[in-house]
Structure 1
Amino acid sequence: MSNLRERQKESRRRKILQAARKQLVANGFEATTIETIAEEAEVSAVTVYNYYGTKTGLLLALVSESDTLLLERMQELLETPSETIVDTFSAFAEVIRQHALSFLTKPVWRQVIAASIIEGDSQFGRSYAQLDRELARQLTKILEKLRDRGGLGADTNLDVLGDCLFQLQNARFLQFVSSDDMTNEAVDRYLREDMEALMAACPD
């Protein structure tokens, strides 16, 4: 009986998250309410509040679900990194952008980022920061593969380099989602130019 209740709870959670994602993508954060999500999920608004508390709580749950899928895609990239650091970094950043837009819209990601800053000390903010740390670690692992194949110097501090490049990617991602007119091709060009400028500034 206990297992049945757990399955029913998980099914309700799944329906609420699917409804929230559908409503947010279709109507945006401001126009979406707990009540419209509840109606879409065919549950009561009280049930949604009991599971997630607020719209920000729902955003956290959606981002967490997105994180799991994104990290799986990073594993694929880890298995087959590109030949150069520029191509490797470009591919890493593109996976993040493509996944982000396949899951939520730019306006909703703006709300996610704003919430992560405003509520930095909350569960939402801490969870979002934890995702960043995990993605930076994934980039470090990818760079390690590249180093092992001779694409980076043997003495390269991969932890520092991985974190530095991830912060650069984050800045360009923020620029990307902040403008509805910013294309994937444009931000990729900027990142490649960033990398080429950094590499040109380094002595041989």
Structure 2
Amino acid sequence: MYSRGEALTGLRERQKADRHRRILAAAVTRFQRDGYHSVRIEDLAEDAEVSVGTVYNYYGTKGDLLMATVALEVEEVLAAGEAILLAPPAEPQEALLGLIWQYYDHSLEYLSKEMWRAAMALSIEEPHTPNGRRYADLDGRLADQVARLVARLQSRGRVAPDLDHRAMGELIFNTLNAMFIEFVKDDGMTLDTLKARVAAQIRPLARLMEAPA
């Protein structure tokens, strides 16, 4: 049996989690609809049905909310990527593109291109702040996942045994990340165009990686 104090603590935690969820959901909706720069904290408080002070209790700045949205996006992408690592396609090209498409297909789930540009600018302008470090950490985890995919293919004899999987993973991530930046800079570029350009760069890399027959 729970004591009254434990029950109250559990209730408070559930209420806190619910407020957190509502604030983040309001941010995702408003940022996508109205644009990150035009949205006010007051707008988010109204949509989430909390006070302005409550929003600031959870997120010190609007940038904190934006970075929380980025983290939400990337955490889901990483989770989906782990499923690919468990059973990757045998061919390096198919495995790499499968992981990259997983990243790209989910990239606009919670963020618009304008939101991505704002998040990238924030990470560049304030690299030593918690938000700047958080963005860099998320990038690092994505690069690590690519490197682990290369290592997995290597362990199956599909990638040359003397290849530095860590360096190759970082090279591949830097390629897909640079092209993603070009994608979010250009409001007219479609996801299909992005994929075609990245595939043209990944294919020769994948051939170079393959283990000798």
| Sequence identity percentage | 35
- CA distance in structure 1 between the partners assigned to 2:48 and 2:189 by the alignment: 33
Bigger Cα displacement from structure 2, 12-21 vs 90-99: 90-99
Which structure 2 residues correspond to residues 20-35 of structure 1 after superposition, within 5 A? Answer: 20-35=27-42
Q: How many residues align?
A: 203
Which structure 2 residues correspond to residues 1-204 of structure 1 after superposition, within 5 A? Answer: 1-198=8-205
- CA RMSD, 1 decimal: 1.8
Bigger Cα displacement from structure 2, 61-70 vs 25-34: 61-70
Bigger Cα displacement from structure 2, 81-90 vs 167-176: 81-90
Aligned counterpart, 2:5:
none
**Secondary structure of the corresponding residue to residue 107 of structure 2:** helix
Cα distance, 1:201 vs. partner?
A: 8.1
Gaps in structure 1 of 5+ consecutive residues: none
- CA distance in structure 2 between the partners assigned to 1:182 and 1:86 by the alignment: 24
Distance 1:174 1:58, change over 3 A: same
Bigger Cα displacement from structure 2, 35-44 vs 140-149: 140-149
- CA distance in structure 2 between the partners assigned to 1:41 and 1:179 by the alignment: 31
Gaps in structure 2 of 5+ consecutive residues: 1-7
Q: Give the TM-score, by structure 2 length.
A: 0.88
Aligned counterpart, 2:3:
none
- CA distance in structure 1 between the partners assigned to 2:174 and 2:79 by the alignment: 21
**Secondary structure of the corresponding residue to residue 35 of structure 2:** helix
Describe the superposition over 1:13-57 as per-residue Cα deviations: whole angstroms up to 9, x where unpaired.
111001111101111111211011111000111111121011101
- CA distance in structure 2 between the partners assigned to 1:22 and 1:54 by the alignment: 17
Cα distance, 1:103 vs. partner?
A: 1.7
The 4+ residue runs of structure 1 with deviation greater than 6 A are 199-202
Structure having the higher Rg: 2
